[in-house]
Amino acid sequence: MKSYRKVMTFHTESRRAFINITPRIRECLYESGIKEGLLLCNPLHITASIFINDDEAGLHEDFEVFLEKLAPEKPYSQYRHNSYEDNADAHLKRTLMGREVVVAVTEGDLDLGTWEQIFYGEFDGRRPKRILIKIIGE
Amino acid sequence: MKSYRKVMTFHTESRRAFINITPRIRECLYESGIKEGLLLCNPLHITASIFINDDEAGLHEDFEVFLEKLAPEKPYSQYRHNSYEDNADAHLKRTLMGREVVVAVTEGDLDLGTWEQIFYGEFDGRRPKRILIKIIGE
Amino acid sequence: MKSYRKVMTFHTESRRAFINITPRIRECLYESGIKEGLLLCNPLHITASIFINDDEAGLHEDFEVFLEKLAPEKPYSQYRHNSYEDNADAHLKRTLMGREVVVAVTEGDLDLGTWEQIFYGEFDGRRPKRILIKIIGE
């Protein structure tokens, strides 16, 4: 069994952002040399998400509206977590979007559907944050 | 390490449906011959979900009400994604239900609790859609 | 390839509870002797969740409010599932929080970010319930 590990850093200018990281994840897989296995990708932070969906700007605006409806950022005072912080909503938004994805590795490539794209979802940005890629297989 | 891959197709008559796929996943596992490992199951589409819950019709109606409350299908015009499509709600519903499940494989069987059943959740059906089963182990 | 399996039981006094299980998961990993691989942790029940977030009491109160807003416990009669049961909301809450986590194993330890803590989320407690830890790797 082979294993591979990589950490990448993102620093968004806005509080919230969606970044398509599929090409960078694919590069990691190629670098690993693993042909058959499983790939895990997760943030090393609890106010960000790795998720799979469509790379379509309209949908990303819909996600923003959806997340603000279910877990609004403001007023900050509505959350107990916000006594020293202002990011309680980011913890909830990341929960709705999910923490991690596990992707099959087949014949040395990401085994994704036609429209499946892997995203880094940032909900409390404007500072450097890291994600982990771990691949095991052969 | 052994690995196994299978794709299955579903074509529901309704826009939304929940299908218990546990027996079919178990058949894949038996076919793989893998005794100890991890099984990943995910749709190859971004408007469907694989999730684990109870095979109880009342609960499935509750899920429908719950999802329609949090991410209503109509009016279609409420979503930016719906300029050429009408399925933005399906992307959101699948996000709430989750994309994938990872299940332990132990002594050649799915290592599930008594009431855990694996479902294909369709949120934009009436056309053929595929799911992936990937198993790694020994 | 090595594999490891452990089941743990929890019995909460309240209907809902969040329990930080990171130290117990780490003990399992040490016991397994696995140095590189993937760790899966999931409940063997469908009204509980394993999730990763912050060990901060204010945030846990925010989760309670958030979950009660999106999937309220009462009135029980609002759910079809509740003809013989009263726990439909617990199925929905667990869906929002997610079923399982997959964590990378690197150099014999859990490969988590600074603030990532693994929680057992109970939404229908006051009886014994079990979780599964499965680790594969080398």
Q: What is the pLDDT along chain A (138 residues), one digit of tens a residue?
A: 999 999 999 999 999 999 999 999 999 999 999 999 999 999 999 999 999 999 999 999 999 999 999 999 999 999 999 998 999 999 999 999 999 999 999 999 999 999 999 999 999 999 999 999 999 999
Q: How far apart are the first and last CA of chain A?
A: 5
Q: Would you state the pLDDT for residue B124?
A: 98
Q: Which amino acid is at B69?
A: K
Measure in Å the smallest separation between the Cα of C86 and chain B Cα atoms: 11
Q: Is A64 on the interface with B (CB under 8 A)?
A: no
Q: Is the pTM of this model over 0.80?
A: yes
Q: Which two tokens stand for residue A122?
A: 């940032």
Among A20, A63, A95, pick the best mutation site for testing chain B contact (most B Cβ within 10 A).
A63
Alpha carbon dihedral C79, C81, C82, C85, in 10-degree steps, equals -150
Question: Does the beta carbon of B35 lie under 8 angstroms from any beta carbon of chain A?
Answer: no
Burial of A23 (0-12, 13-18, 19+ CB in 10 A): exposed
Q: Tell me how far apart the alpha carbons of residues C42 and C132 are, in angstroms, rounded to a whole number.
A: 5
Residue of B nearest to A70 (CA): B70
* Residue from A121, A12, A13, A10 nearest A60 by CA: A121
* Min Cα–Cα distance to chain B from C48, Å: 10
Selection from C121, C131, C134 nearest residue C52 by Cα:
C121
Instruction: Kindly provide the ipTM of the predicted complex, given to two decimals.
Output: 0.97
**pLDDT tens digits along B91-120:** 999 999 999 999 999 999 999 999 999 999
> Would you call C45 and B115 a contact, using CB atoms and an 8 Å cutoff?
yes
Are B127 and B11 spatial neighbours (Cβ–Cβ below 8 Å)? yes
What 3-state class would DSSP assign to A108? coil
Locate B120 and state its tokens.
């294909």
User: What's A115-131 look like in SS3?
Assistant: CCEEEEEECCCCCCEEE
Cα B104 to Cα A2, A96, B100, B113, C44: the distances in Å are: 20, 24, 13, 11, 11
Closest CA to C118 of C3, C18, C7: C18
Phi, psi of A42 (to 5 degrees): -145, 155
Question: What does the block give as tokens for B101?
Answer: 């499940």
Give the chain A residue nearest B5 (alpha carbons): A106
* Contact with chain C for residue B104, Cβ under 8 A: yes
Does the beta-carbon distance from A43 to C138 stay under 8 Å? no
Nearest CB to A38; choose among B43, B81, B136: B136
Q: What is the pLDDT of residue A69?
A: 98
Pairwise CA distance, residues A19 & A11, whole Å: 11
Among candidate residues B36, A132, A28, B106, the one with its CA nearest the CA of residue C109: A132
Q: What is the pLDDT of residues B36-78, one digit of tens each?
A: 999 999 999 999 999 999 999 999 999 999 999 999 999 999 9
Please give the helix or strand (H or E) that residue C26 lies within, else none.
Answer: helix C22-32
Distance CA A5, CA C105 (A): 10
Convert the pLDDT of each residue in C44-72 to its tens digit: 999 999 999 999 999 999 999 999 999 99
pLDDT value at residue C121: 98
CA–CA dist C27, C39 (Å, integer): 12
Contact with chain C for residue B109, Cβ under 8 A: no
pLDDT of residue C105: 98
Nearest-Cα distance to chain A for C2, in Å, is 10
**b (16+ CB within 10 A) / e for A63-78:** beebbeebbebeeeee
Handedness of CA C31, A34, A118, B31 (dihedral sign): negative
CB B134 within 8 A of CB B38: no
The Cα C104–Cα C110 span in angstroms is 6
Percent of chain C whose predicted confidence (pLDDT) is above 90 = 99
**B100/A101 touch (CB, cutoff 8 Å), yes or no:** yes
